[in-house]
Amino acid sequence: MTKSELAERIEQLKREKGAVILAHYYTTPEVQAVADFLGDSLALSVKARDIDAPIILFAGVNFMAETAKVLSPNKKVLIPVPEAGCSLAESCEASALAELKGKYPNHKVVSYVNTSVEVKALTDVCCTSTNALQVVQSIPAEQPIIFAPDRNLGSYIQKLTGRENMIIWDGACTVHEEFSLKKILALKQEHPTAKIVAHPECKAYIIEVADYVGSTAGILEFCGKDSAQEYIVVTEAGILAEMQKRYPEKTFIPAPPESGECSCNECHYMKMVTLENILSCLEAESPEVQLDENVRKAAERSIQNMVAIK
């Protein structure tokens, strides 16, 4: 089948089954085009919870589909590629977090949503890259914290709050850690009026030169309100399609990684989702996200604790 035949067949199946497709900004433009909703990781999960549809197909990585299922236990949540993981989520095993909690029983656990459902179940309150500062600030200053799993987001929040009593997990996103400061500064020389927008999963030396730091949704919003004409975008390149679509009069320049000749950086997990596997998944209504109910409930509590803070 050609790409347009695949897209047509997907639309037909969505109508027949009353299914909706949620896609993350990092998926390919053709996957984004068949989505009913595009968003950042948290917005999509909340959308999954609020939407009136029996079937949700999550075009994104595994932890995102799991989060949708945590918040929508009565809906069928489909994930075309369950092996689409996340280096950040993989850097924090639930058993290792349980061990650390055992050593520091008086610490509250704050976990980024880029974690498995088992890690969320061990967490007191989740956070996203948008609300991590508010979440940490909502915890009394004298209360020690374990912050997992992103060392870059953790260090960024620690710097903003000046909070010393934070144990930061040593995990990272391999995509965001790869951006080259040297190449970004060279781009800035070529485009002196361009603003640098970066995701907080980037290393501290990148965050330091950024004009704006935020989640994918935050970056998109900033570029809409801001008056600059050009932006150097230091996050996964899939977001550029939505940026160009929303703000066609502006120029978005992807930031390059350290190694190789590529002009941008991609998350290979996100790119595992294709029109072909979306179609097979919709046809078979499988693979479906299945969660242990006790784990789901514990994870739901940590997500609801976050939502209550916002």
Site for ligand SF4 in 152-181 (CB under 6 A): 173, 175-176
Q: Answer with the entry of ligand 13P, ligand SF4, none that 40 interacts with (C-beta below 5 to 8 A by kind).
A: ligand 13P
**What distance in Å separates the CA atoms of residue 237 and residue 26, rounded to the nearest whole number?**
7
**Residue 85 or 287 having the CB closest to ligand SF4:** 85
The binder of 87, among ligand SF4, ligand 13P, none, by C-beta within 5 to 8 A per type, is ligand SF4
How far lies 71's CA from each of 117, 232, 251, 282, 307, in Å?
11, 35, 37, 21, 11
Q: What is the DSSP letter of 177?
A: G
> Does 215 engage in binding with ligand 13P (CB under 6 A)?
yes
> Measured from the CB of residue 173, what is the shortest distance to ligand 13P in angstroms?
5
Q: Which of residues 75-94 bind ligand 13P (CB under 6 A)?
A: none
Name the minimum Å distance from CB 202 to ligand SF4.
11
Residue 265 contacts ligand 13P per CB under 6 A: no
Contact 152, 176 (CB under 8 A): yes
- Quick one: 118 or 150, whose CB is closer to ligand 13P? 150
Give residue 42's identity as a one-letter amino acid code.
L
Stretch 61-90 residues interacting with ligand SF4 (CB under 6 A): 61, 86-88
Q: Which of the residues 170 through 209 are near ligand 13P (CB under 6 A)?
A: 173, 176, 199, 201
Residue 216 engages ligand 13P in binding (rule: CB under 6 A): yes
Q: Which residues pair with 32 in a beta bridge?
A: none
Spatial separation of the C-alpha atoms in residues 70 and 296, rounded to whole Å: 5
Which secondary-structure segment (H or E) carries 179? none
Q: Max alpha carbon distance in the chain (Å)?
A: 60
Distance CA 98, CA 19 (A): 37
How many residues belong to the site for ligand 13P (CB under 6 A)?
Answer: 11
For ligand SF4, the binding residue among 79, 269, 281, 291 (CB under 6 A) is 269
Give the nearer residue to ligand SF4 in terms of CB position, either 110 or 270: 270
Q: Which does 216 bind (CB under 5 to 8 A by kind): ligand 13P, ligand SF4, none?
A: ligand 13P
**What SS3 state is found at 264?**
coil
Q: With CB cut-offs between 5 and 8 Å by kind, which of ligand 13P, ligand SF4, none does residue 129 bind?
A: ligand 13P
Give one word for 260, left, alpha or beta, with left for phi > 0 and alpha for psi -120 to 50.
Answer: left
**For 91, what's the count of Cα atoms within 13 Å in the CB-facing half-sphere?**
18
C-alpha torsion 227→199→274→265, nearest 10: 90
Residues 109 to 148 in contact with ligand 13P, rule: CB under 6 A: 114, 128-129
What amino acid occupies position 304?
Answer: Q
Choose which of 267, 282, 291, 306 interacts with ligand SF4 (CB under 6 A).
267
Q: Using CB under 6 A as the criterion, which residues of the chain lie in contact with ligand 13P when the complex forms?
A: 40-41, 114, 128-129, 173, 176, 199, 201, 215-216
